[in-house]
């Protein structure tokens, strides 16, 4: 499995507007992309304007497919005006749990 870990810092006064586009991307990623197995949006305990994303894709190619989706484009278009700066992005492959342990997250 291919994992993506992102940290985002939202501009003051833009949190609700950002959450709208962020949740659109997260929900549609799980709902519309077979290769997106998990997309978690985590609120920082220290700063309500900082979010952490944890995304799991079946492969690096599935993540590339994600970046070509309309919901990702909507997120990207809005992010520049709603974020303090560029997100911090780390990618990697899972060592544990095994790939066979993963199942698709429900899109709720």
Contact 104, 37 (CB under 8 A): yes
| Residue partners of 59: CB distance under 8 A and separation at least 6 | 1, 2, 35
> 25 in a domain, yes or no?
yes
pTM: 0.92
> What total number of domains does the chain contain?
1
- The verdict on residue 108 lying in a domain is no
Q: For residue 79, what is the domain's CATH number?
A: 3.30.70.100
Domain enclosing residue 59, as ranges: 2-96
Q: Rounded CA gap, 56 and 35, in Å?
A: 9
Q: What is the mean pLDDT of residues 70-87?
A: 94
At 38-73, the pLDDT tens digits run 999 999 999 999 999 999 999 999 999 999 999 999
Instruction: Give the pLDDT score at 73.
Output: 95
User: What pLDDT does residue 29 have?
Assistant: 96
The region, left, alpha or beta by phi > 0 then psi within -120 to 50, assigned to residue 98 is beta
Is the distance from CB of 51 to CB of 37 less than 8 angstroms?
A: no
pLDDT, tens digit (0-9, with 9 covering 90-100), for 12-37: 999 999 999 999 999 999 999 999 99
pLDDT for res 66:
96
pLDDT recorded at residue 91: 97
Q: What is the pLDDT of residue 108?
A: 73
> How far apart are the C-alpha atoms of 24 and 12, rounded to whole Å?
20
Residue 7 lies in a domain: yes
pLDDT of the residue at 1: 94
Q: Under DSSP, is residue 49 helix (H, G, I), strand (E, B) or coil?
A: coil
């Amino acid at each position: 499995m291919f994992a993506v870990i992102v940290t985002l810092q939202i501009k003051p006064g833009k949190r609700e507007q950002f959450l709208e586009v962020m949740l659109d991307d997260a929900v549609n990623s799980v709902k519309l992309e077979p290769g997106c197995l998990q997309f978690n949006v985590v609120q920082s305990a220290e700063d309500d304007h900082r979010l952490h994303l944890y995304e799991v894709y079946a492969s690096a190619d599935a993540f590339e497919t994600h970046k070509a989706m309309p919901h990702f484009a909507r997120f990207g278009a809005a992010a520049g005006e709603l974020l303090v700066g560029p997100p911090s992005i780390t990618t990697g492959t899972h060592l544990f749990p095994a790939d066979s342990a993963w199942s698709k997250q429900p899109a709720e």
